[in-house]
Amino acid sequence: ISCLFFVGIHEMTLTVCNCRPAVFLLLELSLFPSAPVYPTLAVNLDLLDFTSTVFQVQQPDIQGWTDSLQIFLHKQGYVLGGDDTLWRRFGKALQFYQVLV
């Protein structure tokens, strides 16, 4: 699973079971999953909170935000893998996070 932080991206392998789903393991690490089952991206809670705050004072544009974030991270040498786009996965994590918070 790709874990997105303010300072970069870290790949993580999770060992999960029916008694301990990935969601709970990620939340213990202050990460929020992009999907409730089989997430491919987890976003740091502080980054989601910051994004939510930015979108309160400016027009929300998740695709523009994630395109900028991806360019910024790429300049630092980080590349996100996966078939799904960052804006789709980050957008889902942000959507679920905002509903729960």
Q: How far is CA 54 from CA 58, 62, 65, 69, 92, in A?
A: 6, 11, 10, 13, 17
Q: Quick: pLDDT tens for 31-49.
A: 999 998 888 999 999 999 9
83 pLDDT band, cuts 50/70/90, is low
- Asked whether the CA dihedral 85, 68, 39, 12 is positive or negative, the reply is positive
85 pLDDT band, cuts 50/70/90, is confident
Domain ranges of the chain: 2-100
| Residue among 76, 72, 71, 2 at smallest CA distance from 43 | 2
What phi, psi does 84 have (nearest 5°)? -85, 150
**Cα 29–Cα 10–Cα 18 angle in degrees, nearest 5:** 50
**pLDDT beyond 80 at 82:** no
What is the average pLDDT value for the chain, to the nearest integer? 89
Strand partners, 3: 10, 42
